[in-house]
A and B are shown apart, each in its own frame.
Chain A
Amino acid sequence: MTLFKMFRRGSAPIARERLQILLAHERVTRNQPDLLGILREEILAVISRHVPFEPDKVQIKLDRGKSVSTLEVDIEIPNGFGAALAKAS
């Protein structure tokens, strides 16, 4: 929406367009379980079986793009965990 159009038509068409896009998305995801929460729990359960880490040093981010979304998992692991792994095996 260009500035020119905004001046000519007012901002209501923009409101309408934004809502239509947003609600189309929200209606689909509304009744689905909390995907991010489930992913977070299961990924952390798997990693914690092998590597010690502190739960609050974990960041999980989900970015929704137009055609692709990315799931970013950032876990801070203390140094020296390799030695612990070697010992265990």
Chain B
Amino acid sequence: MAHVVVVTSGKGGVGKTTSTAAMGAALAQHGEKVVVIDFDVGLRNLDLVLGAERRVVFDLINVITGVAKLSQALIRDKRLENLHLLPASQTRDKDALTEEGVAKVIDELRTKFDWIICDSPAGIERGATLAMRHADAAIIVTNPEVSSVRDSDRIIGLLDSKTVKAENGERVEKHLLITRYHPSRAARGEMMTIEDVLEILSTPLLGIIPESEEVLRASNIGSPVTLSNALSAPARAYFDAARRLRGEIVPMIVPSENKGIFNKLFGRKAA
């Protein structure tokens, strides 16, 4: 059975698109059939992060308005044959994103894929509410920082009230993905800890992605971090998160300070 998952956060810049690409790729690397959909009409970026920006011909809006067939708009990843992208439109015609149109596209995708991952735009407007509308599960991407945590709380409220599942008296399965975590800053009391964020949002933890230059490098070269450097700390964290999303029990590793011997002896500020 297909799973529809929304990657959402409320706040912008916390790592939704990066996490959509990495989680989608990690699931595909496990052999699952995956499609990632960009819902950010007018400001699409998932194509760029996946390195498929020059291969976009048709997009989600074209499919909804009947200009193109779904099979024409889907872009197959060049490295992972199980991974597909449905890009957003770059035009400003946001009104073309209709509830019925999105429902139809999702229904068709459900027959073709194991995982349908919807990359939500920031905010709580139409694009964001439509991205979460048909979700069975949600990945709430949060940074350990006050504005991100507050917005995540707001988004959790919307997931519990404005989704098809919620309206039918069911629950959208919610998972918290903490990104850009600095272990050393948390240890010094400069950044909220994982426990702090979990206690405030009381949502089960899917994974902790440490702040890493590998994440920036991955987007620079247009590759999900799980492909560009599969052994790096963020890639391993995304692989573990993908396994948890599939229902596996994987022990949670809280990133710790990676201090060299020099820093251990002479410096406290390793980060």
Interface residues of A (CB under 8 A from B): 9-13, 15-16, 18-20, 22-23, 26-27, 30-31
Verify if B96 is at the interface (C-beta below 8 Å from A). Answer: no
Segment among B69-77, B130-138, B184-192 that sits at the interface with chain A: B184-192
CB distance from A70 to the nearest CB of B (A): 25
Dominant SS among interface residues on chain A: helix
Given contacts A23-B200, A27-B157, A30-B157, contact A12 B190 (CB under 8 A): yes
* 21 intermolecular pairs with C-beta atoms under 8 Å apart: A10-B189, A10-B190, A11-B189, A12-B189, A12-B190, A12-B192, A12-B196, A13-B189, A15-B145, A15-B196, A16-B196, A18-B146, A19-B150, A23-B153, A23-B200, A26-B154, A27-B153, A27-B157, A30-B157, A31-B157, A31-B161
Q: How many residue pairs between the two chains, A and B, have CB atoms under 8 Å in the bound complex?
A: 40
Indicate whether A16 sits within 8 Å of B200 (C-beta atoms), given known contacts A26-B153, A27-B157, A31-B161.
yes
Tally of chain B residues near chain A (CB < 8 A):
17
Q: With both chains docked as a complex, state the minimum distance between the C-beta of B40 and any C-beta of chain A, in angstroms.
A: 25
Q: Does B149 contact A (CB under 8 A)?
A: yes
A63 shortest CB reach to chain B, Å:
21
- Chain B: CB-nearest residue to A10: B189
